């Protein structure tokens, strides 16, 4: 998380609870309080994530509740306990954070808080940025593709070093970007990105639905080689009519069949159908000429949609 707070937090009054929380060593076999399954697959994943090692630098003490009677129960960290036992088979004790509680009901409330309401999962973009910074080869390759497409992925904090790809370009969702590359090609996504940025030069983000749809058009039709000016004029007309990236994408998607599980296909199909109507009405192309260059791909897109 960033040192700067995004949003208004200054008007929130915070009172401290559980100020008696402390660190202590507890028996490795301390009983758990109604925890989830401890799964070998999860344990193997933790070890694999660090190249087969137990990383003491990342391991955090489990949370242990202490009742008024003195009884203690581990309520969060059974996987961490299992890793400790595996890494230190001769140790009878392990560090833990002790949280005094008034009853077992409070243990359950703490369990829900730590595992549901008080935990924020990492977003795909956040994971990706740190994969790049950590030297992950696949992530670094995607970062290169981002640079080629004049796009970036960031943590959203605007802090120095928190963005990868082309730091001067607009932001994009890394999952949508990788899907666009997989569906089409780097060159096609590059063309789609350039078009979107030319049309919406002031936008700080590029919508992945429009990016994916246009990339398909660039990949499978000759709009750049044969009719680049016509296509650019058409898209400017759509921008003038629908204004935003989202509205243009929605317009194309509706025209193309509007099926949520086939967004990119629908946008590509809708783009070409509207391009046909516009180019023939404006006498840029005859219907025969349009069908010669684009008709087969429109039919191909139709076959990819459920009937």
Separation CA 176–CA 219 (nearest Å): 17
* 277 pLDDT above the threshold of 90: yes
Buried b (16+ CB within 10 A) or exposed e, 170-197: bbbbbebbbbbbebbeeebbbbbbebbb
Cα of first residue to Cα of last residue in the chain, in angstroms, is 47
- In this predicted model, what pLDDT tens digit does every residue of 190-230 receive, in sequence order? 999 999 999 999 999 999 999 999 999 999 999 989 999 99
pLDDT interval class at 178 (50, 70, 90): very high
Q: Rounded to the nearest 5°, which phi and psi values hold at 242?
A: -110, -10
8 A C-beta contact, residue 89 and residue 11: no
Q: At what angle do helices 263-281 and 174-183 cross, to 10 degrees?
A: 70
Q: Using one digit for the tens of pLDDT, what is the confidence trace for 121-161?
A: 678 998 899 899 888 899 999 999 999 999 999 988 888 88
Residue 29 to residues 25, 63, 266, Cα–Cα distance (Å)? 12, 14, 57
φ, ψ (nearest 5 deg) of residue 23: -95, 140
- The CA distance from 93 to 35, in Å, is 20
């Amino acid at each position: 998380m960033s040192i700067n707070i995004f949003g208004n937090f200054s008007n929130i009054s915070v009172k401290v609870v559980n100020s008696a929380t402390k660190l202590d060593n507890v028996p490795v076999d301390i009983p758990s309080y109604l925890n989830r399954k401890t799964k070998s697959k999860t344990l193997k994943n933790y070890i694999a994530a660090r190249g087969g090692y137990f990383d003491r630098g990342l391991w955090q003490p489990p949370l242990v509740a202490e009742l008024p009677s003195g009884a203690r129960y581990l309520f969060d960290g059974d996987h961490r306990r299992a890793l400790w036992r595996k890494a230190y088979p001769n140790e009878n004790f392990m560090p833990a954070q002790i949280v005094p509680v008034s009853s077992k009901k409070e243990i359950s409330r703490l369990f829900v808080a730590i595992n549901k309401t008080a935990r924020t999962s990492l977003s795909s973009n956040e994971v990706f940025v740190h994969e790049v910074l950590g030297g992950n080869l696949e992530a670094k390759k995607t970062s290169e593709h981002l640079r080629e497409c004049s796009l970036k992925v960031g943590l959203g904090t605007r802090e120095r070093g928190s963005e990868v790809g082309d730091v001067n370009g607009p932001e994009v969702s890394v999952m949508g970007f990788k899907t666009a590359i997989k569906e089409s090609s780097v060159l096609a996504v590059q063309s789609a990105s350039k078009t979107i940025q030319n049309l919406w030069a002031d936008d700080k983000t590029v919508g992945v639905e429009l990016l994916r749809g246009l990339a398909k058009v660039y990949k499978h039709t000759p709009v750049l080689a044969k009719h680049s000016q016509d296509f650019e004029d058409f898209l400017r007309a759509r921008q003038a009519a629908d204004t935003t990236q989202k509205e243009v994408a929605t317009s194309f998607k509706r025209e193309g069949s509007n099926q949520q599980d086939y967004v990119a296909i629908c946008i590509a199909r809708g783009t070409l159908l509207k391009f046909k109507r516009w180019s023939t009405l404006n006498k840029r192309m005859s219907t025969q000429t349009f069908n010669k260059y684009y008709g087969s791909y429109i039919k191909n897109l139709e076959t990819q949609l459920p009937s």
